[in-house]
Amino acid sequence: MTNGAVIESTFLTNSFYSGTGYRNRRVLTNVTSSYQSQRKTAKMLECVFNLWPESLITQAIIVGITAGFITYHIFKKRPALPPGPRGWPFIGNLREIQKGDPLELFSTWIEKYGPVITVKFGTWKVVILGRIDVVMEALVQKQEAFAGRPQTYSGDAFTAGSKDIVNGQYGPRWKLHRKLASKALRQYMTSDNLPRKISQSLNISTALMLEEHGPIDPLPFISLAVFNILYGMCFDKLCADTKDETFTFLMDSLKGLVENFGSGFLEDFIPLLRYCPTAKFRRQLKYIAALTEHIKKEMEEHKETFVYGQSRDFADAMLAAQKEAIDEEDPALLSQITDTHVVQTMGDVFFAGIDTTRNTLHWCLLVMALNPDIQKKVQEEVDSVIGRDLNVSLSDRSRLPYTEAVLHETMRIRGIAPMGIPHETLYDTSVGGYELPKGTGVMIFHQGLHFDPDQWDNVNEFRPERFLDASGKMAPKPKSWLPFSAGRRVCLGEIIARPDLHLVLAGMMRACSVSLAPGETNDFKPAIPGFACLPRSYKVVVESRS
C-alpha cells in the first residue's frame, strides 16, 4: 500500500466515526492531489538533474546562454507605438469612442497628439494616420509593408477563409487573384457594355420615379438603378421594377448583412463562442450564404454557356482571364485560385459596389434638393451633352466637368467609409518617424484628409468649384482627396465606380428635377455618427424635365 493510500484509509476511518466524512473527504482530496503534484515535480527535477552535464565548462556555457536569452528579452528595445489617448484597462478607448461621434474624437486626438496616433479598441491597438504626407508614406512609398489585412475569425467565416480580394491576406496567391480580376475588369471596360447598361438602368429607374405621385423616398429607385448596372455588368441581366423578386431578395439580404454588422462580433474576442455562436453571428452566416449561393448559381449558368472570345459580361471576362492564366502562370499557384475565389471576387464587385454607389448617389440627390443653384448648373451642363433618351457613353464624361466636381465634393464631405478598411503591417516598418512592429493594425482617417484645413479652404462649405481649374475643366486630383484609397490596396472597383457614379448622376439630372417634400427638413448630417457615413431617410418631389 502506498503512502497516499495509507493516508486516505486512515483519514476516512477517523472521519466516519467523527460524522464529518463528506467535508473531510474534500480536504483529503486536496491533500492527496497536492501530494501527487509534489511527487510529479520531484520526478521532473530528478530528470533534469540527471540530464545536467558534469563538465564545468558545459555548465558555464548553458548558464551563459540562458542568462543572455533572459537579459535580451527583458532589456531589448521594444518599438514604442505612436502617442495617443491613454485608455482604460481591457476596454482601451472604447468608452470614449462609444459616447459620441468617434470621427470628431479622432480629429481632436490628432490635433493634440499629431498626425500619427495610437487608439486602443479594447486590447487591439490601432495606429491611425490623419495627414496626407504620412498616408502617402505608408500606402505609396512603403506600400508592401502596409498591404496586409487584419485576419479575424468572423472575417474568415464570412469570406470562405479570406478568399476574397478585399479581406484576403497579401501574398503570391492574392496578387495573382487581383491580377485576374483587374484583367477581367479591363477587358469588360474595352466594350460598350457598361454605358449601355447605365442607359438601360437610367431609363427604367427614372420612368418609375416619374410614375409616382407626391413625395417619394428616392433610395429604392436609386438602388434599382445601381443594382441593374452591376447586375447587368456582372451577369447580363436586368430587373424591371422595385418589386422584382430577384431585386427584393438580394437587396433585403444585403440590407440585413450591413445592418447586422453593427459594432462587430463577440466571436472575434471570445474564442469559446465559436463553438456556440451568438444569434447575431448565425444571422450573418445566413445572409452571407444567401448572397453567395446566388452568385454560385449565376456562375454555374455562365460556365454552361461560356464561349471563349465572346464576352457578355464581367462573369465571362473573369472566366476568360482564368482560362488564359492557365498557360501563363505557375500551375501550382494557379491551382490555388479556385472557383470559390472567383465567386468571392464577384461578390466583392457586385455587393460592395451596390452599397457604396447607391449611398453616394443618395447623398448626391440630397445635395441637389438642398441646393437648387447647384442643381441648375448641373442640368444646364447635362442638357448640352445627354439626350432625352438618356443614352450615355464614357466619352460624355469629359464634357461634364461640373457634374463630376459635384460628385467629387460629395465624396469629400460625405464619404461613405470615413475610416476605410483596416490595414496591417506585414513586417517591421515605420511611418512618420515612429517604428511599427509586424502585425500592427493601421487605419487611414479619410475624413481627416478630406477636412484638413492645410489642404482645403473653408472645409465645411460644399463648393464643387474647388475641383475645377480656371477654364472650368477638371483640375488635377487634389492629393488629399482619397476616397478610393491608394497603393496595393487601392479599390479594385474604382475603374467601374467613377464612370458609374458620374453618368448616373448626370442622367438623373437630365430626366428629373428634385426638391425636398413640403415640411421636410434635412441638415445634411449623417444618420448615425460613426464608421459608416449614411444619409438619413428623406423624401423628395420629382418632376419630369422632358
440-475 pLDDT per residue, tens: 999 999 999 999 999 999 999 999 999 999 999 999
Q: Which 8-state DSSP code applies to residue 19? A: T
Identify the three-state secondary structure at position 64: helix
pLDDT value, residue 338: 81
H or E element at residue 119: strand 116-121
pLDDT value, residue 323: 79
| Topology (CATH level 3) of domain 153-544 | Cytochrome p450 (1.10.630)
pLDDT value, residue 191: 80
- Report the candidate in 230, 145, 98, 179 with the shortest Cα–Cα distance to residue 504: 230
Give 37-64 pLDDT, tens digit per residue.
555 555 544 554 555 555 555 444 555 5
- pLDDT tops 80 at residue 15: no
Give the β-pairing of 124-129 and 441-444: parallel
- pLDDT tops 70 at residue 114: yes
Q: Which 8-state DSSP code applies to residue 536? A: P
Are 359 and 383 in contact, with CB atoms under 8 Å apart? no
Q: Which residue has the higher pLDDT, 403 or 62?
A: 403
Q: What angle do CA 498, 499, 502 make, to 5 degrees?
A: 85
163 confidence band (pLDDT: 50, 70, 90): confident
Average pLDDT over residues 527-532: 83
Give the relative orientation of helices 494-511 and 353-370 as an angle to the nearest 10 degrees: 40
Are 142 and 429 in contact, with CB atoms under 8 Å apart? yes
pLDDT value, residue 257: 87
- Report the candidate in 314, 353, 306, 364 with the shortest Cα–Cα distance to residue 494: 353
What is the rounded distance in angstroms from the CA atom of residue 474 to the CA atom of residue 469?
6
pLDDT value, residue 516: 96
Average pLDDT over residues 5-21: 35
239 confidence band (pLDDT: 50, 70, 90): very high
Which range, of 58-67, 192-201, 398-407, averages the lowest pLDDT? Answer: 58-67
pLDDT value, residue 7: 33
- pLDDT tops 90 at residue 379: yes
Most confident of 84-98, 212-226, 346-360: 212-226
Give the β-pairing of 423-424 and 441-444: antiparallel
- pLDDT tops 50 at residue 327: yes
User: What length is written for the chain?
Assistant: 546
Average pLDDT score, the chain: 85
Give 533-544 pLDDT, tens digit per residue.
999 999 999 999
Which amino acid, 331? P
pLDDT value, residue 79: 63
- pLDDT tops 90 at residue 410: yes
- pLDDT tops 90 at residue 35: no
How many percent of the chain have pLDDT more than 70?
83
105 confidence band (pLDDT: 50, 70, 90): very high
**How many CA within 13 A on the CB side of residue 152?**
17
261 confidence band (pLDDT: 50, 70, 90): confident
How many percent of the chain have pLDDT more than 90?
57
| SS3 track for 225-263 | HHHHHHHHHHHCCCCCCCCCHHHHHHHHHHHHHHHHHCC
- Report the candidate in 264, 280, 201 with the shortest Cα–Cα distance to residue 236: 201
Give the β-pairing of 540-544 and 512-516: antiparallel
What is the rounded distance in angstroms from the CA atom of residue 546 to the CA atom of residue 537?
27
Q: Which 8-state DSSP code applies to residue 430? A: E
Which CA distances in Å does 213 have to 208, 225, 239, 397, 518? 11, 19, 22, 32, 14
Average pLDDT over residues 211-218: 93
Neighbour-count burial of 70, counting CB atoms closer than 10 A to its CB (0-12 exposed, 13-18 middle, 19+ buried): exposed
Average pLDDT over residues 348-354: 87
pLDDT value, residue 259: 82
387 confidence band (pLDDT: 50, 70, 90): very high
Which range, of 265-274, 372-381, 469-478, 512-521, averages the lowest pLDDT? Answer: 265-274
155 is written with which cell numbers?
A: 472575417
Are 90 and 406 in contact, with CB atoms under 8 Å apart? no
pLDDT value, residue 333: 64
Are 184 and 318 in contact, with CB atoms under 8 Å apart? yes
Which range, of 92-101, 166-175, 459-468, averages the lowest pLDDT? Answer: 92-101
pTM exceeds 0.75 for this model: yes
pLDDT value, residue 4: 40
Which amino acid, 50? N
pLDDT value, residue 541: 96
pLDDT value, residue 442: 97
| SS3 track for 276-294 | CCCHHHHHHHHHHHHHHHH
What is the rounded distance in angstroms from the CA atom of residue 246 to the CA atom of residue 490?
31
Average pLDDT over residues 127-148: 97
- Report the candidate in 421, 160, 422, 150 with the shortest Cα–Cα distance to residue 285: 160
- pLDDT tops 70 at residue 509: yes
Q: Which residue has the higher pLDDT, 510 or 336?
A: 510
226 is written with which cell numbers?
A: 445601381
Q: Which residue has the higher pLDDT, 128 or 50?
A: 128
294 confidence band (pLDDT: 50, 70, 90): very high
What is the rounded distance in angstroms from the CA atom of residue 496 to the CA atom of residue 190?
12
